């Protein structure tokens, strides 16, 4: 039917319509492939711009969201850096304390103190993992007591406990419990102090700081994820027409999600890198300031606690990890939000 009517109208409209005037074009379409003359194709190609983004970038997220992501990653990176500083400091304290053990010998009636000291030194030296064993001299003991008992102290007349300092070179080789039991059995009035109470408290404190730091980071990243969810929903609403056209041309939800995800990945990377770089600059600045200010009263307190306040290499790796995490989280969150939105739409 259509064909017969077409013949009637052919003359009137043939000047307007291109396909009927060019039967060879019809043949080419029938073959479903159309090899083109090379020169013409090249001239067309030359004009073609690289395929534009299907979802316009400017419609997805403004600078505000990038700034939010940057601030969130900055805070997360600061947390990682802070945790790293505390962790390193706690580790250093623990190492110092673990490498020092003290044997304390209390004076006992009828027992010669010097003999017991010699016995204790000899006993301690028999253990592996120990670098040196040294009994504190009379002068050193006097110096320790001087702030409380004043100058000109005569140790012989006082029941002053004597100390033996043991330096450990390899804590893993030293059998501490055996040392403790041997010392208490063989040396009269002696006990071993290995600072275990201190180290356990330090470990607990460092653990609490790390857990707190991670909790803060999780909160910060959660806020960022929520911001991205809202931004994605807003972007979806703003691109309703684009989504509708994509459905129209047979796009799968995963394709549409990928198109949005790509933008949010770039946004997450931009925000993450900005926040991370700002945090790294802060770390470097803090390190420089604490080094420059060494010798001043305030700085000495800080140095006593943390040494030099500088973020170690694992801290910087943590910052890079946060940047990567922020970008991935942003992309995954937006992808899931798009899919959830599309599931509701259809």
Partner 1 sequence: MIRFENVGLRYGMGSEILQDLTFEIEPQSFQFLTGPSGAGKTSLIRLLFMSLRPTRGLIKVFDRDLSVIDKQELPKLRRKIGVVFQDFRLLDHLTTYENVALPLRVIGKDESEYRSDVVDLLKWVGLGERMHVLPPVLSGGEKQRAAIARALITRPEVLLADEPTGNVDPPLARRLLRLFIELNKLGTSVVIATHDIALLEQVDARRMVLADGRLSIFD
By CB under 8 A, name the binding residues for partner 1: 1-6, 9, 12-13, 16-20, 25-26, 28-30, 32, 34-36, 41, 44-45, 47-49, 51-52, 54, 56, 241-242, 244-253, 255, 346
Q: Which is nearer to partner 1, 249 or 304 (CB)?
A: 249
Q: Smallest gap, in angstroms, from Cβ of residue 241 to partner 1? A: 7
- E-strand stretches of the chain: 100-105, 130-135, 162-168, 190-193
Nearest CA to 141 among 184, 105, 98?
105
Which one, 95 or 244, has the nearer CB to partner 1? 244
Min dist. Cβ of residue 288 to partner 1 (A): 47
In DSSP terms, 259 is beta-bridged to none
Angle CA 330–336–337, to nearest 5: 85
Q: What is the DSSP string of 152-169?
A: S--GGGS---EEEEEEES
Closer residue to partner 1 (CB): 151 or 241: 241
How far apart, in whole angstroms, are the C-alpha atoms of residue 99 and residue 318? 29
CB of 231: closest distance to partner 1 in angstroms?
A: 19
Nearer to partner 1, 101 or 256 (CB): 256
User: Exposed, middle or buried, 276 (CB in 10 Å: 0-12/13-18/19+)?
Assistant: buried
Q: How far is the CB of 50 from partner 1 (least distance, A)?
A: 9
Q: Which is nearer to partner 1, 186 or 240 (CB)?
A: 240
Shorter beta-carbon distance to partner 1: residue 36 or 186: 36
d(CA 82, CA 310): 9
Distance CA 102, CA 119 (A): 15
Q: For the CB of residue 268, give the shortest distance to partner 1 in the complex, in Å.
A: 22
Output the smallest distance, CB 309 to partner 1, in A. Answer: 50
Backbone φ, ψ for residue 32 (5° rounding)? 60, 25
Comparison of 30 and 154: residue with beta carbon closer to partner 1: 30
Q: How far is the CB of 265 from partner 1 (least distance, A)?
A: 19
What separation, in Å, do the N-terminal and C-terminal C-alpha atoms of the chain show? Answer: 38
Pairing of strands 100-105, 190-193: antiparallel
């Amino acid at each position: 039917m259509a064909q017969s009517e077409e013949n009637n109208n052919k003359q009137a409209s043939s000047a307007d319509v291109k396909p009927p005037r060019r039967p060879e074009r019809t043949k080419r379409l029938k073959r479903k492939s159309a090899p083109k003359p090379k020169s013409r194709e090249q001239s067309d190609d030359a004009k073609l711009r690289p395929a534009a983004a299907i979802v316009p970038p400017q419609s997805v997220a403004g600078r505000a969201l990038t700034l939010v992501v940057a601030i969130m990653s900055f805070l997360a990176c600061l947390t990682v850096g802070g945790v790293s500083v505390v962790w390193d400091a706690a580790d250093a304290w623990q190492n110092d304390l673990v490498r020092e053990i003290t044997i304390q010998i209390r004076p006992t009636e009828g027992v010669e103190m010097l003999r017991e000291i010699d016995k204790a030194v000899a006993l301690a030296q028999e253990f592996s993992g120990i670098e040196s064993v040294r009994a504190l001299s009379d002068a050193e003991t006097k110096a320790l007591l001087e702030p409380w008992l004043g100058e000109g102290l005569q140790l012989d007349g006082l029941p002053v406990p004597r100390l033996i300092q043991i330096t450990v070179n390899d804590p893993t080789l030293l059998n501490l419990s055996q040392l403790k039991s041997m010392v208490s059995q063989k040396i009269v009035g002696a006990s071993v102090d290995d600072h275990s109470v201190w180290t356990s408290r330090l470990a607990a404190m460092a653990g609490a700081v790390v857990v707190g730091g991670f909790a803060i980071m999780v909160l910060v990243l959660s806020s960022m994820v929520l911001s991205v969810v809202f931004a994605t929903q807003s972007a979806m609403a703003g691109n309703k027409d684009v989504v509708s056209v994509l459905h129209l041309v047979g796009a799968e939800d995963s394709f549409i999600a990928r198109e949005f995800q790509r933008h949010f990945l770039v946004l997450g990377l931009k925000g993450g890198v900005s926040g991370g770089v700002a945090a790294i600059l802060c770390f470097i600045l803090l390190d420089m300031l604490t080094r420059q200010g060494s010798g001043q009263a305030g700085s000495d307190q800080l140095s006593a606690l943390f040494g030099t306040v500088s973020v170690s290499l694992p801290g910087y790796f943590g910052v890079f990890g946060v940047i990567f995490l922020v970008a991935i989280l942003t992309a995954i969150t937006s992808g899931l939000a798009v899919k959830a939105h599309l599931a509701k739409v259809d």
